Chains A and B, each alone.
Chain A
Amino acid sequence: MPELLGHYNYWIVIILMMTGFYTVIARPNLIKKIIGLFIFQTSVFILFISMAKVEGGTAPIIEAGISVYSNPLPHVLILTAIVVSLATTALGLALVVRIREAYGTINEDDIHDEED
């Protein structure tokens, strides 16, 4: 990749991360917050996988005649992180369902009103 674009992947990752972060702190809707968290998580996955890429390398499955492989270690970390991210998302959404049943709304502002 040309010199100028050497950090392109990381910058987009940070923009995505901040998009998710903004959704979590600025949007009152609880489902939207969880989706914001999901965007944030995925951006971290892309950060790790971008770091694992080796120029001219291929997928880390050993094959005769190939000498350059991308780094397998971040792949392992992220593979399990994706499954755990689903576990946290599901738990968060289950909480949203229960909050809706208890308060009749999934809007954070309305929930605060009811609490006061």
Chain B
Amino acid sequence: MEYLIDIVLLGLLMITGFAIVRMKSLLAVAMLTSIYSLLSAALFVVLDAVDVALTEAAIGAGISTILILATVALTSDEEKAPRHTPLLPLIVVIATGAALIYGTLDMPHYGDPTAPVHSYAAQSYLHDTPADIGVPNVVTSVLASYRGYDTLGEVTVIFTAGIGVLALLGYRTRRRNIQGPGIRRLVVLRVIAKLFFPLILLFALYVLFHGDYGPGGGFQAGVIFATGFILYALAFGLGNAQRVIPHQLLRIMMTVGVLIYAAVGIESMLLGGKFLEYRVLADDPVTGQHLGIMLIELGVGITVAAVMLIIYYGFVSRQHSGDM
């Protein structure tokens, strides 16, 4: 049964992919991209990657789509036909694809428990997590503790992307609340947005602090938190959203998150351990691990949420300054 779902979902993904290439209207392409992400999130659940599915659903189907739509609104919706014949790219693509398919023939079969990827590191993570870290979710323990250096790097990448978008698009604070005339009349949308806004924020906090026990963690929580504010800004205008969470605050939050993460590392060095060795943070090693993971997940969540909102504000404020 599981295989059947896998086969159908991958087939649908392929069809959506082809449709994206063929469609000329970029608005339709943006919506198809959202469907493509949602399908792949569903596939990740079937493949047991629940943490990944949560991230993909929030990022791919949510924020990416909004950014593509914002870009289409700032540029143009129609796609011109290419001037060159697609023959050469087609040959290149088919040759590359054939070489890659030839390459897969040596690979272990799907689901094979004896595949090399499942030996060594993965086995020891699964085996040692309960005793070393004491959290049931192995993905969280690897992400936050065993490979904490990597995650610090990733958070820094996201921080850098936030700075990059700020540098490219700039930012202008709006005193007046600008909103399309159409959206003010959509009462249902505004009521639903108002009802959902606190629930989304609450869910983000649940995902953040329950990440040790179930799917979730700082990355997902940060994105869900940002989505709540984006929904608010969509329904009530950018000006109102900025009154709730001003741009200046976001710029501070973006930095504070990375600093919390690095500070946990330095604190564990000051207490006599290595960088990001959480054991030394409390008298009991497992309690120390819990504390360390909670703090760095909080740092990740703050930075991710702030960067997502800075990116969104950047795109939308550009749109309004273009209208003037």
Known: A63-B136, A69-B126, A109-B83. Is A51-B115 also a contact (CB below 8 A)?
Answer: yes
Closest chain-B Cβ to A73's Cβ sits at a distance in Å of 5
Does B104 lie within 8 Å of A11, measured CB to CB? yes
* Main DSSP-derived SS at the A contact region: helix
Within 8 A of B (CB), among A33-52: 34-36, 38-39, 42, 45-46, 49-52
| B residues in contact with A93, CB < 8 Å | 67-68, 70-71, 315
Judged by a CB distance under 8 angstroms, whether B158 is at the interface is yes
| Contact pick for A68, options B89, B104, B113, B304, CB 8 Å | B113
Q: In this complex, what residue of B is CB-closest to A54?
A: B113
Does A42 lie within 8 Å of B138, measured CB to CB? no
Closest chain-B Cβ to A99's Cβ sits at a distance in Å of 9
Does A80 lie within 8 Å of B315, measured CB to CB? no
| B residues in contact with A69, CB < 8 Å | 48, 126, 138
Does B122 lie within 8 Å of A71, measured CB to CB? yes
Judged by a CB distance under 8 angstroms, whether B215 is at the interface is yes
| A residues in contact with B315, CB < 8 Å | 93-94, 97
Known: A11-B104, A80-B143. Is A91-B164 also a contact (CB below 8 A)?
Answer: yes
Does A59 lie within 8 Å of B50, measured CB to CB? yes
Closest chain-A Cβ to B239's Cβ sits at a distance in Å of 21
Q: In this complex, what residue of A is CB-closest to B218?
A: A83
Provide the bound-state CA to CA distance between A86 and B314, in Å.
15
Known: A29-B26, A49-B49. Is A8-B113 also a contact (CB below 8 A)?
Answer: no
User: Interface size class for chain A?
Assistant: 35 or more
Known: A46-B40, A97-B71, A107-B80. Is A75-B52 also a contact (CB below 8 A)?
Answer: yes
Judged by a CB distance under 8 angstroms, whether B101 is at the interface is yes
Closest chain-B Cβ to A103's Cβ sits at a distance in Å of 11
Does B214 lie within 8 Å of A80, measured CB to CB? no
Known: A7-B104, A16-B17, A106-B76. Is A62-B122 also a contact (CB below 8 A)?
Answer: no
Known: A72-B125, A93-B71. Is A18-B97 also a contact (CB below 8 A)?
Answer: yes
Does B49 lie within 8 Å of A78, measured CB to CB? yes
| A residues in contact with B157, CB < 8 Å | 84, 87
Does A76 lie within 8 Å of B158, measured CB to CB? no
Provide the bound-state CA to CA distance between A34 and B33, in Å.
11
Does B158 lie within 8 Å of A14, measured CB to CB? no
Q: Footprint of A on B, CB under 8 Å? A: 3, 6-7, 10-11, 13-14, 17-18, 20-21, 26, 29-30, 33, 36-37, 40, 43-44, 47-52, 55-56, 59-60, 63-64, 67-68, 70-72, 74-76, 79-80, 82-84, 86, 89-90, 92-94, 96-97, 100-101, 104-105, 107, 109-113, 115, 117-118, 121-122, 125-126, 129-130, 136-139, 142-143, 147, 150-151, 154, 157-158, 160-162, 164-165, 168-169, 213-215, 217, 219, 223, 304, 307-308, 311, 314-315, 318
Q: In this complex, what residue of B is CB-closest to A106?
A: B75
Q: In this complex, what residue of A is CB-closest to B213?
A: A61
* Main DSSP-derived SS at the B contact region: helix
| B residues in contact with A53, CB < 8 Å | 47-48, 110-111
| A residues in contact with B158, CB < 8 Å | 83-84, 87
Closest chain-B Cβ to A52's Cβ sits at a distance in Å of 7
Closest chain-A Cβ to B314's Cβ sits at a distance in Å of 7
Does B18 lie within 8 Å of A10, measured CB to CB? no
Query: Looking at B49, B50, B60, which has the most chain A CB atoms within 10 Å of its CB?
Result: B49
Provide the bound-state CA to CA distance between A28 and B129, in Å.
49
Does B71 lie within 8 Å of A96, measured CB to CB? yes
Query: Looking at A3, A71, A78, which has the most chain B CB atoms within 10 Å of its CB?
Result: A71
| A residues in contact with B21, CB < 8 Å | 19, 22-23, 27, 36
Known: A72-B138, A87-B158, A91-B161. Is A29-B52 also a contact (CB below 8 A)?
Answer: no
Q: In this complex, what residue of A is CB-closest to B18?
A: A19
